[in-house]
Structure 1
């Protein structure tokens, strides 16, 4: 498997590691998203203990306003963070 395929597989695995603990296994509730952000992206988001910050992140991600974050909305988050990291990398050169 190529590095890109491995990365895609990992993104899918991480989503499903947290989704479905509180309901639909194909979406993230606010609590599941908090757990994912803390465990998987803690270096970027910190502990996400601030309810206002978590509410804003969740609202911004929940593009269709259905009260959950689906896989496409999750990938939008990952893509945005990756793009920001790439910009920081380019500036550091």
Structure 2
């Protein structure tokens, strides 16, 4: 497999690892999003320790307002964060 294919598989595996804990493997509940962020992106959740902050974060990730984060929403956020990281990394190299 190419590096890109491995990366894609890792995204799928990561989403499914956390999505299946509450029973629905196709979406992340509020608690699953919180756990995923705590484990996989701890610096993103560091400022969201209270329940309201986590609720607000899940709402921001839930683009269609159905109360859960599906794979497409998850990937949109990962892609946006990756673009932001690239911008920061590119600026720090100058």
Same fold (TM over 0.5): yes
CA distance 1:47–1:2, shift in 2 (3 Å):
farther
Counting only pairs closer than 5 Å after superposition, residues 12-91 of structure 1 correspond to structure 2 as 12-46=12-46, 48-91=48-91
Structure 1 CA distance for aligned equivalents of residues 48 and 3 of structure 2: 30
Runs (4+) off by over 6 Å:
none
Two-structure CA RMSD over aligned residues (Å): 1.4
Q: How many Å apart are 1:48 and its aligned residue?
A: 3.9
TM-score (norm 2): 0.90
Q: How many Å apart are 1:23 and its aligned residue?
A: 2.9
Q: State how many pairs are aligned.
A: 93
Structure 2 CA distance for aligned equivalents of residues 40 and 87 of structure 1: 20
TM-score (norm 1): 0.91
8 Å CA contact 1:34, 1:48 repeated in 2: no
CA distance 1:21–1:47, shift in 2 (3 Å):
farther
Structure 2 unmatched ranges of 5 or more: none
